[in-house]
Structure 1
Amino acid sequence: MKQRRTSLKDLADELGVSIATVSRALRNSHEVGDDMKRKVKELAMKLNYRPNPFAQSLRKEAPRVIGVIVPNLVTHYYAAVLDGIEDFASRAGYSVISANSHESCEMEKRAIDNFISMHVEGIIACLAQDTVDYTHFEQLYEMGIPVVFFARTCLPEKFSQVVGNGDEAAQIATCHLIETGSKRIAFVGGPNHLDMVRRRKHGYLEALRQKGLPIERDLVICDKIDFDVARQATIKLLQNENRPDAILAFNDIVTYAAFDAIKECGLSIPDDVAIIGFTDGDSAAFVTPKLSAIMDQAHVQGNKSCELLMRNINGDQTIYKEIVPMILKIRESSEKH
């Protein structure tokens, strides 16, 4: 059975005192003796009691709030997802508080701890790239706090998720590169433990198999999601004697890092090195040459994530997996002349 959040009434019932006594003890009121204060605080710690600052400040009615955790709020993708979440939440009468994990598991845990203390009604999250232990999310499940994941997910048997069809999109994009003259296609991705990376890499590999091209390990780079790391990895690839003549890039950070690396090496896009990246950003159409891109439909993903969270908050215990189709937009960077 899931645990529910401990209330003042739970503490009062356990100790056989009034709610007012418990409240005064937690506030260190002089109206309560030291022994009772000690008992109340020890029990509160044991039962993981968290005060609700909203309820305390408003007394009558706490605002309806959900929390959102993203790995990197400054990228277009996460900003667009958050916009989609806020759009749906406001129509449902909810406010949104967002936290940026900065791709750090520790900051992700801290954000969750803050959200629990704030008594948010539910949480939407995308995993930080270095999160490999999901204990903090299992705690939310045990506490009965609704959670929905998007993009990078975990614990699919416990939580609903919204993802793109990254495997199919990557396969279609890689086939396009092959059909337009590319023969040695590299995949520049992120950490292998992320399901989002695995899906997109799988699609890339399936396209190579489908078209009868060899799978070369040295053309598959899965490292930290970081502009400088991806840029240096791409430069190293392109400095090889037998360099790739095309790149499929995992997300917007990696895409623009690879784009910059190709130009840094004095190579022409797309004739020397073609490129397609996963990115929703408007800037894809404004760089030179215009960038072929796999568009995530990030705003739709945000809307759908919030819709599933609202269903859960309203009592629907079904575990959903929603797949939002991606859109391949062919521009100038992928077809060799």
Structure 2
Amino acid sequence: MRKHPISLKTLAQALNVSMSTVSRALKNHPDIGPEITKKVQQLAQELQYSPNPLAMGLLKNKTRIIGVIVPDLVTYFFSSIISGIESVAEENGYYIVIRSSYESYEKEKECLENLLKLRVEGIIMCLSQETTDYTHFDHLIEEDMPLVFFDRVCRTTEVDTVVVDNQVAACHITEHFVERGYRRIAHIAGPAQLNITRERIQGYKDGLANTGLHFQDALLVHCDMSIDSATAATRQLLALPQPPNAIFGVNDTTAFAAMKEIKRQGLRIPTDVALVGFSDEFHATVVEPTLTSIMHPSFEIGQEAAHLFLKQMHTKIKMPAQQVILQTHLVIRDSTIAT
């Protein structure tokens, strides 16, 4: 059995010609005679030769590979964004290599270094929740290497970004609760350093102000967006002397954890505590009760990020950083509709 794939060198040695002759013959180059061209192409077919796109790219100093870094590969949100990136990449003859930071700053740096060693032509990524130092992007920015951030972003005056209008979305959630008759509205927020956390907190506060309610420090708690942390945050809220009757989670995972804890304490959703998530993952439609959530245009986020990347690849003149802001909408389900 053949242990290694057939290469140009293999074909060249078998026919006693140069690699460049083989390469040109495979492309029907007019400089190569028809007899040699026929021999090369017949042997290539017999040995099932297939061009190696990475090797060819390295020869041309263009691998046509995009590095993609996400905080995790498990949630539907990130897998949908990856699908959006891949759809645009494939249409334009690019490949993607995906790495996960596992929400770790050190792992994020390692992912970036390893992708650059693979000679990717640029990076599309979402920051880990631990990342507060952005200096590991300095050399990419200084060398004008294509770089696009999505969802959790930084250095927006220097780097193209794709986000949703988190502030407006969070404001809509809060106003929705008030329209349904809830007044003690709590928010389980994400890590304080993330842009999505700051923007959703501001939207939550805007919604309270718009409906004549006062912000209360006790009703705002932070978590690291894990199940355990969100569960602890929910317990903290429900243990208050005047617990909330509505909770807005920074994402659907947080809301699912809150839902489980609310039920564990014998409370009813939404009669005792209403609940809203953010991202509208598939599971929102199968939990009981179904979860009201902000629909995140995740596939479109990936597409827009890839379009920005390709625009950088094909623009020779340095352009100002561009920010694409996508809109969301609230999908209302049973977790905020009393029956």
TM-score (norm 1): 0.81
Q: How far apart are the structure 2 equivalents of 1:146 and 1:255?
A: 35
Q: Which moved more, 1:257-266 or 1:165-174?
A: 257-266
Corresponding position of 2:131: 131
Corresponding position of 1:330: 332
Return the offset for 1:59. Answer: 4.1
Q: How far apart are the structure 2 equivalents of 1:334 and 1:57?
A: 53
Corresponding position of 2:311: 311
Larger Rg: 1 or 2? 2
Return the offset for 1:206. Answer: 0.3
Corresponding position of 2:94: 94
Corresponding position of 1:30: none
Q: How do 1:142-291 and structure 2 match up within 5 A? A: 142-291=142-291
CA contact (8 A) 1:297 1:327 kept: no
Q: 1:242 to 1:293 in 2, by over 3 A?
A: same
Q: How far apart are the structure 2 equivalents of 1:221 and 1:54?
A: 48
List gaps (5 residues or longer) in structure 1. Answer: 1-52
CA contact (8 A) 2:57 2:64 kept: no
Amino acid at match of 2:152: R
Q: Which moved more, 1:252-261 or 1:109-118?
A: 252-261
Q: How far apart are the structure 2 equivalents of 1:263 and 1:277?
A: 16
Return the offset for 1:241. Answer: 2.6
Q: How far apart are the structure 2 equivalents of 1:182 and 1:305?
A: 38
Return the offset for 1:318. Answer: 3.5
* DSSP 3-state at the match of 1:232: helix
Amino acid at match of 1:243: P
The alignment of Structure 1 onto Structure 2 pairs a total of residues equal to: 285
Q: How far apart are the structure 1 equivalents of 2:155 and 2:60?
A: 36
Q: Which moved more, 1:296-305 or 1:142-151?
A: 142-151
Q: Which moved more, 1:119-128 or 1:315-324?
A: 315-324
RMSD (CA atoms): 1.7
Deviations 1:185-221 (A, max 9, x none): 1100111111111111111100001111111101101
Q: How far apart are the structure 2 equivalents of 1:205 and 1:59?
A: 55
CA contact (8 A) 1:69 1:101 kept: yes
Amino acid at match of 1:219: L
Amino acid at match of 1:109: K
* DSSP 3-state at the match of 2:256: helix
Return the offset for 1:265. Answer: 1.4
Return the offset for 1:233. Answer: 1.1
Return the offset for 1:303. Answer: 0.4
CA contact (8 A) 2:174 2:207 kept: yes
Structure 1 stretches (4+) deviating beyond 3 angstroms?
Answer: 53-63
* DSSP 3-state at the match of 1:89: helix
Corresponding position of 1:121: 121
Q: Which moved more, 1:313-322 or 1:213-222?
A: 313-322
% same residue: 38
Corresponding position of 2:302: 302
Amino acid at match of 2:266: G
Amino acid at match of 1:330: I
* DSSP 3-state at the match of 1:333: helix
Q: 1:311 to 1:236 in 2, by over 3 A?
A: same
